[in-house]
Chains A and B, each alone.
Chain A
Amino acid sequence: MSEFLNFHFDVDGENFVSAGQASVQVKKNLRELGLPPEIIRQVSIAMYEGEINMVIHAGGGVADVNVYEDRIVIILADTGPGIKDIELAMTEGYSTATDNVRSLGFGAGMGLPNMKRYTDEMTIESEVGKGTTITMCVYLK
């Protein structure tokens, strides 16, 4: 494995107000590295969606962003309830979010599809009752 820069965050699952702070920090870090704005936007939106998901569905988790020479890899891992049917969860508009979450402006069923849309690769590993790990990759073209 080639050398890379790692940014690590603990995502607090109790606090919706602070959700997204890790993504804000990643955006700042990537800007400081001088990466192209479009790449930064792709990474930060995908990560932000993932971070929100972790807070509303999984009670938080850990986020790692690894910057390699040719790509950025985002790994979001939680020990939440897991995803029963990943294919269904990937369907645009499908959501298991509560009305409370919807009243906060999320839960339109666009999170996972959006994460896929903004990244070049995405894999979801999930086990019901154990948790979910999502790995996303954005190529530095």
Chain B
Amino acid sequence: MKISTIKELLNAEVLCGEALIENDVHSACGSDMMSDVLAYVKDQAVLLTGLVNSQVIRTAQMMDMVCIVFVRSKRPTAEMIAIAEECGLVVLTTNKRMYEACGTLYSSGLGVAKEL
């Protein structure tokens, strides 16, 4: 699925990485616990989260993710966006809640991340 499709499905706003939204992604995970993201998933490309702090960006960076979707209308700070931009991440924000955002993407064909 293209990131631009995620944007449309979630009626999301692009906060950075506009130039990369035609890239393809194949899996996603949703969590507010970065510990669990680091522990349970592998090769996921998209992180959906309602947590807003700099460690969200760093976790995505460490996991080689390509896109972060902030749910529940959460907005990262300008500083976080700058870090995300620097490491080539696409950052989206949607007003959908976590359950609906994940469900929408899953039922549209975006798979789950493989477990280790």
Contact = CB atoms under 8 A, between A and B. Distances in A.
Interface of A: 16-20, 23-24, 27, 37, 41, 44-45, 48-49, 52, 92, 102, 104-111, 113-114, 117
A110 B55 contact: no
B39 A104 contact: no
B3 to A, nearest CB: 21
21 contacts: A16-B53, A16-B55, A17-B53, A18-B54, A19-B55, A23-B58, A24-B58, A24-B62, A27-B61, A41-B62, A41-B63, A44-B62, A45-B38, A45-B62, A48-B62, A104-B55, A105-B34, A105-B53, A106-B33, A109-B35, A110-B38
Interface residues of B, number: 20
Contacts of A52: 55
A19 B53 CA distance: 11
Interface of B: 32-36, 38-39, 49, 51, 53-56, 58-59, 61-64, 116
Given A24-B61, A105-B56, A113 B38 contact: no
A85 to B, nearest CB: 20
